[in-house]
Each structure stands twice: as structure tokens, then as C-alpha cells.
A = this chain, B = another copy of it.
Amino acid sequence: MEIARTKAEIRRLVGVAKKAGQTVGFVATLGALHGGHMSLIERARKETDFVVVSIFLNPTQFGPDEDLDEYPRQEEKDLALCEKAGVDVVFAPSVEQMYPSGHCTVVKIEGLSEKLCGANRPGFFAGVSTVVAKLFNIVEPDIAYFGQKDAQQGLIIKRMVEELDMPIEIRMCQTVREEEGLAMSSRNAYLDAKQRKQANCLYQALQEGKKLIEGGQVDRDKVTAAMERVITQAGPCSIDYVAAVDSQSLEPATAENRSWLLALAVRIGRSRLIDNIVVEIPGPS
């Protein structure tokens, strides 16, 4: 496995692979790799010839009061995990390498970026879409893999690729969960044992919402109220949002929608945790 620290180096390595006719798969990460990332890498390994993983803790997607400073950093461990998973190249640039000068170019997906997490984290998705655009232009992958846990991020990146005509295919991969349902996340590391147990309420709330919808409940407020009850009963926390939205537009779900996204963001201790599921509603027969 090679480690590229500069744009020139990763371009050279990918160039060689492409020249040899290999397809390039790409997984973009902030580092602190967990089972979710590994499942993306495994899929890229299966479906493409040359697998690139980026490890870049992108400062522009953290707000001034957010957890950039305490976000887990474990490069040595991450590199070992990539090596073991058969990654061909890790691209691990410095902040200076990615943002050499005052950065004034922004790629923004208006509308989609302001909803759900975007409402609580202004500027977050512009930071994400801009750095992903840069990474796509540097790595030039054929296929890029993202996790369904970050459903809104996935929709935004798909829209960006489509509307900017980037010659890249985006594949979304299932959320990987701990045994009791907690979605894997680098931010789970901030939880102590008790909070970790409490955090299972996110998944339980999603299951409660799913059960109600599948039982015929199409009033989104009733669905989200029931989900909120599951969360607040589990212990002290602060709910950023609990939402039932159309899974494509992220507009509030209505009885007409056939595909609902149940999504939530909850702060437990120092962790802001997110999770979601898509519930398909069979059409009238």
C-alpha cells in the first residue's frame, strides 16, 4: 500500500492505474476508521480494481464551536486498517496541501444543504460538498462510496455530481450497526459506557417510527412525536431534530410520499449522534 501526502503524488499513482486500464474506487473519510468505513472499503475492493481511501480531517466542515479539536485522530491505526483491507493508496494530505491559500471557492447545493443537519450546522454541507468536489477532482475515481448513515450528505453529493456533470458514479452503502443497533460513528468514541447504552435509543426510535408507518400512520407529526418519546425516556439528552421527510427532496413527508426518510440528530454528553432509516410505503393496490 502506498501513502500519498501530496496532490501530485496521488495523481501520479492513480494515473498509472488508469493507464493500465484499471477502474478506480474511492472512499473519502475524516479518519478514525470504524466498521462503517471498512464496509465501504470492502465494497470498493470487490467492485473496482484500484482502491483509494482519503484520510483528511477537513476543517471547513466544522463550525467554530464544534468538535474539530477533539475529533479522534489515529492515523497509524487507520493506515494499518487500510493495509489489511487491501487498499492500494491512502491519500492523507495536510491542511496546507488542500487549502494552500485563502480559500474562496465554495460548491453549494442550495435547498438540500439547509435542511435537517444543515439547519443545526450552518456551513457544514458547503464544507462537505466543496472538499468532496476537490477530492473528486484530485483522485478522479470512477466510483465513490458513501454510507447511508450520512443520508443527507449522500443526497447532496449525488446532486452535486449530477448537476456539475462530474463523470463519477456514487454508490450508497448500508449503515453498519453495533449489536444493539447503534450506528457506527467516530463520534461514538466520546460516549462513556452509560451514554453508549443510552445511545441505543436512536435506533429504537427509528424502529418505533417504522412500526407506526407500517401500521398505517401517515401523520408525520404523530410519527416523530412517538420517536421523540423513545429518545427522551432513555435519559438526559438534547434533540437537534427528529424528522420524517421525503427520502429524495427532504421536504416534510406527507401521505402521498412512498419513501419516507426518518432521520434524527441527538446530543448525548459531548457527542452529536445522527442516524436514519428509509421506510418504503407500499402504494395503493
Contact = CB atoms under 8 A, between A and B. Distances in A.
Given A105-B108, A109-B105, A111-B104, A137 B165 contact: yes
A105 B162 CA distance: 9
Contact of A134 (B11, B106, B164): B164
A125 B75 CA distance: 40
A30 interface: no
Interface string A148-164: 00000000000110111
A164 B60 CA distance: 14
Interface residues of A, number: 28
Contact of A164 (B137, B163, B165, B167): B137
Contacts of A138: 165
Contact of A112 (B104, B112, B129): B104
A167 B137 contact: yes
A106 B138 CA distance: 20
A126 to B, nearest CB: 9
Contacts of A101: 162-163
A95 interface: no
A166 interface: yes
A88 interface: no
A105 B163 contact: yes
Nearest to A139: B165
A163 B105 CA distance: 6
Interface in A101-141: 101, 103-112, 129-130, 133-134, 137-138, 140
Interface string A233-252: 00000000000000000000
A83 to B, nearest CB: 26
B105 A106 contact: no
A103 B163 contact: yes
Contact of A107 (B11, B112, B140, B164): B164
User: 4 closest pairs, A vs B, by CB?
Assistant: A105-B163, A137-B165, A104-B110, A104-B111
A140 B7 CA distance: 18
A166 B136 CA distance: 9
